[in-house]
A = this chain, B = another copy of it.
Amino acid sequence: MPFYIDADQPSVTSLSDMRIFMEAPELKSIHCDECPIRHRAVCAKCESDELEQLDRIKYYRTFEAGQPIVWAGDRMSFVGSVVSGYATLTQTMEDGRTQMVGLLLPSDFVGRPGRDSAAYNISATTDVVMCCFRKKPFEDMMSDTPHIAQRLLEMTLDELDAAREWMLVLGRKTAREKIASLFAIIARRESVLANTGLGVKNVARAASFDLKFTREAMADYLGLTIETVSRQISALKKDGVISLQGKRHVIVPDMYRLIDEAGDDSDGGLLV
Contact = CB atoms under 8 A, between A and B. Distances in A.
Contacts of A152: 153
Interface string A85-124: 0000101111101110110000000001010000110000
Interface residues of A, number: 39
A171 B224 CA distance: 8
A160 B114 CA distance: 15
B157 A92 contact: no
Contacts of A156: 153, 156-157, 160
Interface stretch (A21-29, A130-138, A161-169): A161-169
Contacts of A89: 164
A115 to B, nearest CB: 8
A208 B150 CA distance: 41
A226 to B, nearest CB: 14
A263 B93 contact: yes
Contacts of A36: none
B265 A172 contact: no
A167 B168 contact: no
A208 B168 CA distance: 30
Given A99-B167, A167-B167, A170-B223, 10 more contacts: A91-B165, A93-B168, A99-B171, A101-B168, A149-B149, A160-B163, A163-B164, A163-B167, A171-B222, A171-B223
Interface of A: 89, 91-95, 97-99, 101-102, 112, 114, 119-120, 146, 149-150, 152-154, 156-157, 159-161, 163-168, 170-172, 222-223, 263, 265
